[in-house]
Amino acid sequence: MQNTLIDAGPLIALFDKNDQYHKKAIAFIKHFQGKFLSTWPVITEASHMLDFSTKAQLALLEWIHRGGIQIVEIDQSQILRIIELTRKFEDVPMDLADATLIVASETLGIDRIASIDSDFYVYRDIRNKYLTNIFQL
d(CA 36, CA 24): 17
User: Does residue 128 come out as left (phi exceeding 0), alpha (psi in the -120 to 50 range) or beta?
Assistant: left
Rounded Cα distance, 64 and 58, in Å: 10
- Mapping DSSP to helix (H, G, I), strand (E, B) and coil, where does residue 6 land? strand
Cβ atoms of residues 59 and 94 within 8 Å: no
pLDDT at site 121? 60
CATH number assigned to the domain covering 6-133: 3.40.50.1010
Whether this prediction's pTM lies above 0.95 is answered by no
Residue 120 has pLDDT above 80, yes or no: no
Q: Which residues of 29-62 are buried (b: 16+ CB within 10 A; e: fewer)?
A: beebeeebbbbebbbebbbebbeeeeebbeebbe
Please state the rounded mean pLDDT for residues 84-110.
Answer: 92
Beta pairing partners, 35? 3
Per-residue confidence (pLDDT) for residue 90, from 0 to 100: 87
Q: Rounded distance, CA 136 to CA 118, Å?
A: 9
pLDDT digits (tens, 9 = 90+) for 34-63: 999 999 999 999 999 999 999 999 999 999
